[in-house]
Amino acid sequence: MKVYKFGGASVRSAEGIRNIVRIVSTVSDNLFIVVSAMGKTTNAMEIVLDHFMKADRDASLQKLAEVESYHDQVITDLFATKENGTAAVNPLFKELKSLITSGVGDDYDRWYDRLVSYGEMISTRIVSAFLSESGIGNEWLDMRGLLITDSNFREANVRMDESQLRLQKAVDFTKNRIYIGQGFIAANIKGDPTTLGREGSDYSAAVVGNLLNAESVTIWKDVPGILNADPRLFEDTVLIPELSYLDAVELAYSGAQIIHPKTIKPLENKQIPLYVNPFGTPELTGSVIRGSIQKPIDVPVLILRKNQVLVTVRPRDFSFVLEESLSKAFVVMNKHRLKISMIQSSAVSISVCVDNTRYLSGALDELETDFKVSYNDGLELLTIRGINDAIVQKTTGGREILLFQRTRRSGRFLMKE
Ligand code: ASP
Ligand code: MG
């Protein structure tokens, strides 16, 4: 069997969903299809949630009405019989409205997962109903009963053993050739919805691939494949046809937006290849990530990670950082979910470059107990793999660099945005 994952951009319009049907109808393999929320629905649901948490139900319901009308438009454009589409999503919007009107927003992260997860519930209902209307039999699954995670809301960790039992029980390719489930969402053992982190649908697809022993996982994207740089930021980008798992992990960790960083491990563990294919031109080959590759990457790879903060901490009692304080600082950062992208230490200080998230201020407050803390925000981190002087000059020339690290093959530059 194979796993296909379609992201938000692929399902943002009726045209995109028709293209899914086109792609799916050309394969005869057993398929598990993983789908994200449509277009910018997750962002919109975050706004619904924010109003709800501020106890502004009217504003929350009003934003939800926008989400509903967007989906309604896609349904109108898509289905020959509109009722096929509305019948699939109406119960979900009803549930959402009743959660918003009767719920009390106590715990932000828990409510995030409860509400925002509906984006994927709705999109998969639509895709499943449209596949059926197009004569492609399929079974829709609620991943909130099949992927089991811990209760680390908004960034839950999948429990592979329990999930495997449930998923293998639910999926029987002798009964259905095509199953469809949500990316990004899951539940803890008690059944409370959880999510796997923003852009987590790739990770869901990889986990499903692992648990069902897929022959391959394919992520369909609105790009030609994996490029050596983001074409919106750099000129003259080229396609990288083949990457090793290690290459892919390093690129994702450096901030390459192409795949979610957690995606590779479940695939590497079972040596399942990951294809990144162009959604708009499925006849062209994209990129493949796998264990052994024919030809190492021979072009420089540029990755820009925006919205970074450089945090420097010094123990207040002047103790040596590496001997005494390192673990204390990291425990606090980990507890507050800081994503560390670079580390530098001296005798009495340690500097880390982290994503600027809503958790940062809580972490800084707690670090203040034992450390003197200073920070710079508004930074971006450029990673160059396959570094040479010309490319350094071209990409960093004239820029103010706050921190620079170099190894034999790579360079990392933390700069003002
Ligand atoms: N819908 C989620 C997000 O936008 C998950 C995903 O698309 O991968 O973050
Ligand atoms: Mg997405």
Indicate if ligand 1 lies below 6 Å from the C-beta of 39.
no
CB 409 within 8 A of CB 388: no
The domain locations on the chain are 2-222, 301-416
| Angstrom distance (rounded) from CA 159 to CA 156 | 9
pLDDT at 250: 83
Q: Does domain 301-416 have CATH number 3.20.20.80?
A: no
pLDDT at 62: 98
What is the residue with the minimal CA distance to atom 5 of ligand 1?
199
State in Å: Cα 112 to ligand 1 middle: 13
Q: How confident is the model at residue 65 (pLDDT cuts 50, 70, 90)?
A: very high
Indicate which atom in ligand 1 lies nearest the CA of residue 204.
8
- pLDDT, one tens digit per residue, over 244-263 is 999 898 888 777 777 888 99
Whether residue 185 is predicted with pLDDT greater than 80 in this model: the reply is yes
- pLDDT, one tens digit per residue, over 343-400 is 998 888 999 999 999 899 999 999 999 999 999 999 999 999 999 999 999 999 889 9
Indicate which atom in ligand 1 lies nearest the CA of residue 196.
5
pTM of the model: 0.88
Indicate which atom in ligand 1 lies nearest the CA of residue 201.
8
Residue with tokens 């086109």: 22
Average pLDDT over residues 186-199: 97
Average pLDDT over residues 76-99: 97
What is the residue with the minimal CA distance to atom 3 of ligand 1?
199
- pLDDT, one tens digit per residue, over 22-51 is 999 999 999 999 999 999 999 999 999 999
Average pLDDT over residues 87-110: 95
- Hey, what CATH topology would domain 2-222 get? Carbamate kinase (3.40.1160)
Indicate if ligand 1 lies below 6 Å from the C-beta of 37.
yes
pLDDT at 212: 98
Q: What percent of the chain has pLDDT over 90?
A: 84
